Amino acid sequence: MKNADRAQQNEARWQAVLRRDGAMDGQFVYGVVTTGVYCRPGCASRVPRRENVRFFDSAAEAEAAGLRACKRCTPGADGERDEMAERMRALCRYLEEHADEAVTLEQLGVRAGLSPEHLQRTFKRIVGVSPKQYAEHLRMERFKSSLQQSSGNVTGAIFDAGYGSLSRLYEKVDTRLGMTPMEYRGGGAGVEISYAAEVTPIGLMMVGATDRGLCFVQFGENAEVLLGELRTQYPKALVHAMAEPAPAAFREWMAGLNEYLAGRKPDLRLPVHVRATAFQLMVWNHLQRIPAGQVESYGEVAEAIGQPRAARAVARACASNSVALAIPCHRVIRGTGEMGGYRWGTGRKRALLDLERRG
């Protein structure tokens, strides 16, 4: 095709995108180079900037160019995939309505019309966690809420949340609450946090850690201000400067952060020890699965965790993240392809993405 004809065709396709013309679905797809995603012409996502758009005759051509399918309009996918996603969202709603009950995989399979094994694989692929993990997130969130509001003892909150016994709760505490029930109710009283500050290529960074992982990784201009933020976030914890020599685990975590910021380790994997709601935990777990150097929109993240209308809540979960880099909220941008906000400045957000893409 001649250049003039190609330009005319692309202009017609762009007008179809602006109209969100579903009648053109199947005729072509468009890719957004800033997000690395391609969509159908009728996609309901926010319209991107024209200069960031490329047109392709097929989904296969877009994927050959390194783009991935939009999770909202699923270009190239058949109706079965959309229908399966809706089944999983219905199961999420069912689990939310029955959070105080022991719902089995077999029961969920009957509701979804799938074998337990097929359901397990499909639920985890679409939602990001297993049905059991999703139910535990909900139950732990209910427990934390009950614990904070209750004027009674911890045992009452345990049974209100549907755990049934003290031992069943404590099986989940280390990985879901991060503190024992009494510590949580006391605002972190007795929890020990060590901190250290270091100048990095993108500014001063303060790291706070417990013996189980990172609980604070933030950037700023002043160490005293950062320390104040750490103390505010954990008002009753025992906060002190890292002893010398630092424990081996902390040295290993710091080495990982430094290798990442030096561009030698783009896919950073570090343990975190943070307090989170069930929703925040789902969002943050998903963020950790986004490959280094790639980005998703707030809407795509919401879709991926089975909450397609929760884009704003996803944005709030990203903004409340207190562990930069280890929970990579910098990999989430606006649907238009713009950087969007970042707790530590959009300049740092862009620098981190550039760093990952070079690595």
Q: Which residues are catalytic?
A: 39, 329
AA identity, residue 86: E
The rounded distance, in Å, linking the Cα atoms of 48 and 245 is: 51
d(CA 92, CA 279): 12
Which residues lie closer than 8 Å to 59 by C-beta, 6 or more apart?
A: 29, 38, 69, 75, 76
Task: Copy the structure tokens of residue 302.
Answer: 């919401």
CA gap 7, 278 in Å, rounded: 48
Judge whether 270 and 315 are in contact, CB under 8 Å. Answer: no
- Omega before 245 cis (within 30°)? yes
E strand or H helix at 289, and its extent? none
Question: Please, which residues bridge with residue 199 across strands?
Answer: 204
CA dist 29 → 59, 79, 82, 333 (Å):
6, 17, 18, 21
Other C-beta atoms lying within 10 Å of the C-beta of residue 191: 22
| Cα separation, 296 vs 5, whole angstroms | 33
Q: By CB neighbour count within 10 A (0-12 exposed, 13-18 middle, 19+ buried), where does 173 fall?
A: middle
* 5 burial via Cβ count (<10 Å: 0-12, 13-18, 19+): exposed
**Rounded alpha-carbon distances, angstroms, from residue 151 to 140, 145, 156, 262, 277:** 18, 12, 9, 50, 21
User: CA distances (Å), 179 to each of 16, 46, 207, 286, in order?
Assistant: 53, 40, 19, 23
